[in-house]
Structure 1
Amino acid sequence: MLLFVTGCDKKSDNEEKVDIKTEKETVLTQDYTAPFSLHFTDGTILNMQKNKNGFKIDNNGTATLFAFFSPWCPPCQVQSPILNNIQENFKEKLQVVGVLVGENLTNDDAKVFAIDNNVTYKISQGSENNFFANALGGVSEVPFIVIYDEKGKFFSQYFGVIPEEILTTEIQRIF
């Protein structure tokens, strides 16, 4: 069996910077442990806060799969029906969240992507998406998937298009 994984490089360099002082002192310009909210295209929000094990995710104790994507990315479009099936198959135990990343993207870009790709999972848009990506250490290519268990503890991450069978097997390991 041959598995071909592909992804799209990030189009922008709009990332938070680390200021390095000459006396070997590093100062972060952003506090990534601060609480933040992901804003979904349907008007709902998801409150989150980074901690030492992952994130505190206010989603009623369900596991969460975050799929970072850009609308211009063909592999992201290929990943959408797989994520739809994952959301449907694990709807009682897992929430799938699409996280729109890139420069100059709007709520309309997220909605058009959802319509064009028949997306059935929630899509987050807004500046908090970049904050979230940076809190993870940056997202350099899409699609990028990161999964957290029901307690918000980091479980696994993937770059590129991931076959449904692999995601299903991995998600079943959480439960």
Structure 2
Amino acid sequence: MQFKTLAFLSILSILFFTGCDSKNENKDRTEVKENKTNEKIITLKTTDNKNLNITIKDEKIIFKDYPNKIVLLNFFATWCAPCKAEVPNLVSLQNTFKNDFAVVSVLLEQNKKNEEVIEFMNKYNINYQVTNSADNFIISDALGGIKSIPTMFMIDKNSSVFQKYVGIVPFEMMEMDIKKLLVK
């Protein structure tokens, strides 16, 4: 009996500390708009029908809608257990650092109805922006492709990637990174 319990806990911890496969197979995506300065301009649609404007240029991820804020760009799926497990941490970080910090979640699921995503957001009390459009896969590709979820990028106030997280991340680690960036 102890062996079964130990085996179960081992499998559970492996699933918990790793991510889910992102299942990124959408072939019918629109192309990234690229101008002469090698900027990639991406517009994502949020669940509340707002446009979120992102520019990728010279290894910077510029959120025009969040000037002078630290942004946590979170790639997730509603079916992913580790993604669900970290939602309370993201909600708490959003509440704690709301003046200097924003979470932006990018849904990596195809053909998910907005109503379903909003239902998910309500179930988990999500208080941050969630994008839901076919263009979500464009930003994934622009950042080198997201191989597993959750994957997050902590972006400082100067639009530089400070940290990349793959898999579930302890609240304390993200909190510590935000505090480092606030004094920077």
TM-score w.r.t. length of structure 2: 0.80
- Identical pairs, percent: 28
State the secondary structure of the residue aligned to 1:127: coil
- Choose 161-170 or 39-48, whichever is displaced more: 39-48
Larger Rg: 2
Partners of 1:151 and 1:125 lie apart in 2 by 26
Which structure carries more helix by proportion? Answer: 2
- 1:65 Cα deviation (Å)? 0.4
Equivalent residues of 1:41, 1:122 under 8 A apart: yes
Note the alpha carbon deviations across 1:52-93, whole angstroms, 9 max, x for none: 131221112211101111011111110100000010111011
Partners of 1:13 and 1:5 lie apart in 2 by 24
Equivalent residues of 2:110, 2:134 under 8 A apart: no
Letter in 2 for 1:151: N
Of the three residues 140, 144, 147, the one matched with 1:140 is 147
Q: Which residue of 2 aligns with 1:36?
A: 42
Moved over 6 A (4+): none
- 1:139 Cα deviation (Å)? 0.7
Q: Which residue of 1 aligns with 2:160?
A: 153
Q: Show structure 2 runs of 5+ residues with no match.
A: 1-12
Partners of 2:19 and 2:27 lie apart in 1 by 19
1:57 partnered with 2:63: yes
- Choose 55-64 or 4-13, whichever is displaced more: 4-13
- 1:173 Cα deviation (Å)? 1.3
Question: Structure 1 residues 30 and 41, CA, compared in 2 at 3 Å: closer, same or farther?
Answer: closer
Q: Show structure 1 runs of 5+ residues with no match.
A: 17-28
1:76 partnered with 2:105: no
- 1:119 Cα deviation (Å)? 0.8
Letter in 2 for 1:90: F
- 1:120 Cα deviation (Å)? 1.1
- 1:45 Cα deviation (Å)? 2.2
Q: Which residue of 2 aligns with 1:45?
A: 51
Q: Which residue of 2 aligns with 1:21?
A: none
Q: Which residue of 2 aligns with 1:20?
A: none
- 1:108 Cα deviation (Å)? 2.3
- 1:136 Cα deviation (Å)? 0.5
Give matches, 1:71-150, under 5 Å.
71-150=78-157
Equivalent residues of 1:71, 1:77 under 8 A apart: yes
CA RMSD of aligned residues (A): 2.3
Give matches, 1:5-20, under 5 Å.
5-14=17-26
State the secondary structure of the residue aligned to 1:138: coil
Note the alpha carbon deviations across 1:86-116, whole angstroms, 9 max, x for none: 1011101111111101222232232122012
